[in-house]
Structure 1
Amino acid sequence: MEIRPFEEADRRAVIELWQVCGLTRPWNDPYRDISRKLAIQPELFFIGEVDGKVVASAMAGYDGHRGSVFYLAVSPDYQRRGYGKLMMDRVEGALKAMGCPKLNIVVRSSNEQVLKFYSHLGYALDDVVCLGKRLIPDT
């Protein structure tokens, strides 16, 4: 798998990937999410490609205190080949190069498969509660 920066021509394939992986929600417009990412740290939006086909994505950020990653996705047809780990290695490397000391990941508590994946990569539950407030509605 080749990992490279997101390109505008990838938009449709990336959204389809997110949909097939169950990452989209009615209250988050994926088109807007991509546009927002491209406006801030677009160099932290990665695509995994096999034979010219988008099969993975990861969208990261760094605020000067903590890093974050969202929309880590690997097409179901390409899972269990180490591609998720490769994407996370790229994210971690990019954030570390920026001086990021810690990476926080938000995972739905019901997503046991993904929680196991991150645990296998060395991530552990932090004793925190994630709070959210919508500032700009997408719908």
Structure 2
Amino acid sequence: MSERVPDVEIGPATQADGTAVVALWRAAGLTRPWNDPDRDFADALVTATSTVLVARGPGGIDGTAAGDDPAVVGSVMAGFDGHRGWLYYLAVAPEARGQGLGRELVVAAEAWLAGQGAPKVQLMVRRENADVQAFYAALGYEDADCVVLGRRF
């Protein structure tokens, strides 16, 4: 792994970050037509047991930042359901990949979840996404050997 991307800070997202964060999620291929990422972002910020953490630094999905503010170059959503923590929407801008930022975002989200009282963390990865499965395996995540079932309302 190369050195960490310089001048990057990780902290809580604000409503003003919504457009940049959702653009990052879209560019990373994390969105699906049946989920509204704008609503997911907004809901995470107003729910006491969830958050979106962002990495701010030079660059960003469009290569620019507004004014002198650092751009959003990474994000992760975390939520605690009272039994376990969950990670969602981990994304790093293309120019910031391969420098340990994804790992740092996961560590920050795990720390936030631990602070909420979560005894463990889970996440879902699409079966065909072997690269992301390998990323999480390198961080100590294991296949939970379960089937995830769902139902939409």
TM-score normalized by the length of structure 2: 0.84
Query: Which 4+ stretches in 1 moved above 3 angstroms?
Result: none
Which residue in the other structure is 2:3 paired with? none
Normalized per residue, the structure richer in helix is 1
1:128 maps onto 2:149 in alignment: no
Query: In structure 2, what is the equivalent of residue 74 of structure 1?
Result: 92
Out of 95, 103, 125, the residue aligned to residue 107 of structure 1 is 125
The residue type equivalent to 1:49 in the other structure is R
CA distance in 2, matches of 1:98, 1:31: 24
Q: Return closer, same or farther for 1:89/1:50 CA change in 2, 3 Å cut-off.
A: same
CA contact (8 A) 1:67 1:104 kept: yes
Which structure 1 segments of 5+ residues have no match?
none
Q: Deviations over 1:104-131 (max 9, x none)?
A: 1111111111100000000000110011
Alignment partner of 1:44: what SS?
Answer: strand
Structure 1 contact 5–43 (Cα < 8 Å) conserved = no
- Counterpart of 1:25? 32
How many residue pairs were aligned? 135
| Matched-pair identity in % | 43
RMSD: 1.3
- 1:42-97 deviation line (CA, Å, top 9, x unaligned): 76210111130101011101122100010011112211100000001101111112
TM-score, structure 1 as length reference? 0.92
Match of 2:134 in 1: 116
1:44-55 superposed matches below 5 A: 44-51=51-58, 52-55=70-73
Distance between the aligned counterparts of 2:49 and 2:84, measured in 1?
A: 17
Deviation at 1:21, TM superposition (A): 0.3
